[in-house]
């Protein structure tokens, strides 16, 4: 399993209802996106980061490992906002782009932290079965669940093939490394196709009719948690409006 999934399955918020965590995380996400960057996005992202490190007890290494690719994308996306082209062949630093780049980066990082708060505390297996009650078609959630399952099998296949190639000195030189990577791609594709076909045959033998019946563990909604979440969101909105509104 990925480190983020391990944290979601073993964390102290594992027994909380997914709706509680969705209200908290998505509420902070809406505040980070809809409110002004200062101080709305800062307060929302800061609250999500404190909850991750505090009550949720998600290790910082897990958060950084899951966030470094999106953070790299944010960094590379904000760089063009800092420059301009006064001439077709000349680039110059645009002083007016610095505030826009800072706002874009701050809002993006805050939204990412809010999403990590939900994904690091809520297993996907708790979310997908409950989406039926929201009117999501069963075919959509089942395809998502099967894709999620096949992703782990694909990673295991890649790891097994790579270990076998490394044991045979398949990465000794650049030439052998390119050859091993090509063979790895072919072997993983064949394995994934074979597993998908066996999965389809297994569902057909078991009388699959278009819906997979799974047992969903029931959790009780915590009223104090919902009240505290509402108070936190209300405080962020109130403080942001008072700071951003000129008197």
Q: Are residues 30 and 116 in the same domain?
A: yes
Percentage of the chain exceeding pLDDT 70: 92
pTM given for the model: 0.79
Query: Does residue 212 lie in a domain region?
Result: no
User: Is the pLDDT reported for residue 76 higher than 70?
Assistant: yes
Residues 8 and 97 in one domain: yes
Please give the Cα distance from 47 to 83 (Å, whole number).
32
Domain boundaries, position 100: 3-122+218-244
Tens-digit pLDDT profile for residues 142-159 = 778 778 777 777 877 888
Across the chain, what does the average pLDDT equal? Answer: 83
28-33: long-range contacts, CB 8 A cutoff, minimum separation 24:
28/114, 28/117, 28/233, 28/236, 29/111, 29/114, 29/115, 31/233, 31/236, 31/237, 31/240, 32/107, 32/110, 32/111, 32/114, 33/107, 33/111
When pLDDT is cut at 50, 70 and 90, the band that residue 80 belongs to is: confident
The pLDDT score that the predictor gives to residue 151 is 79
Q: Confidence class of residue 174 from pLDDT cuts 50, 70 and 90?
A: confident
- pLDDT tens-digit series, residues 121-146: 988 878 887 877 777 777 787 778 77
Both 10 and 95 in one domain: the answer is yes
Please tell me whether residues 153 and 110 are part of one structural domain. no
pLDDT for position 215: 67
pLDDT for the residue 183: 83
**Do 170 and 112 share a domain, yes or no?**
no
Which of 18-22, 73-77, 85-89 shows the lowest mean pLDDT across its residues?
Answer: 85-89
For the CA atoms of 185, 190, 192, 198, the dihedral, rounded to the nearest 10 degrees, stands at 180
236 and 156 within one domain: no
- Per-residue pLDDT for 113 more than 90? yes
3 state SS of 83: strand
Same domain, 12 and 97: yes
Residues 105 and 7 in one domain: yes
Query: Average pLDDT in the 71-97 region?
Result: 78
> Is residue 142 included in any domain, yes or no?
yes
Q: Assess if residue 210 is contained within a domain.
A: no
Say whether pLDDT at 180 is over 90.
Answer: no
Residue 29, token pair as written in the block: 């996400």
Of the given ranges (3-17, 49-63, 182-196, 210-224), which has the lowest mean pLDDT?
Answer: 210-224
The percent of residues above 90 in pLDDT, for the chain, comes to 21
In this prediction, residue 214 carries a pLDDT of: 67
In a domain, 213, yes or no: no
pLDDT band at 6 (very low <50, low <70, confident <90, very high): confident
Based on the structure, what is the number of domains in the chain? 2
Cα 21 from chain centre:
14
């Amino acid at each position: 399993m990925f480190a983020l999934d391990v944290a979601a399955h073993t964390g102290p918020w594992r027994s909380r209802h997914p709706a509680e965590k969705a209200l908290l995380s998505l509420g902070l996400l809406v505040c980070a996106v809809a409110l002004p960057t200062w101080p709305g996005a800062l307060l929302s992202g800061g609250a999500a980061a404190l909850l991750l490190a505090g009550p949720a007890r998600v290790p910082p290494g897990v958060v950084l490992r899951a966030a470094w690719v999106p953070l790299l994308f944010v960094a590379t996306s904000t760089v063009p906002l800092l420059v301009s082209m006064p001439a077709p062949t000349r680039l110059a630093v645009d002083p007016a782009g610095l505030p826009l780049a800072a706002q874009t980066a701050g809002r993006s990082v805050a939204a990412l932290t809010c999403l990590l708060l939900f994904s690091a505390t809520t297993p996907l297996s708790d979310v997908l079965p409950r989406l039926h009650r929201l009117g999501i078609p069963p075919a959509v959630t089942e395809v998502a669940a099967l894709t999620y399952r096949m992703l782990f099998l694909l990673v295991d296949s890649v790891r097994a093939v790579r270990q076998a190639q490394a044991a045979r000195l398949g990465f000794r030189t650049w030439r052998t490394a390119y050859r091993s990577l090509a063979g790895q791609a072919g072997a993983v594709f064949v394995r994934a196709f074979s597993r998908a076909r066996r999965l389809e045959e297994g569902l057909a033998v078991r009388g699959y009719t278009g819906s997979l019946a799974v047992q969903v563990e029931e959790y009780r909604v915590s009223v104090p948690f919902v009240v505290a979440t509402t108070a936190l969101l209300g405080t962020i909105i109130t403080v942001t409006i008072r700071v951003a509104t000129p008197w």
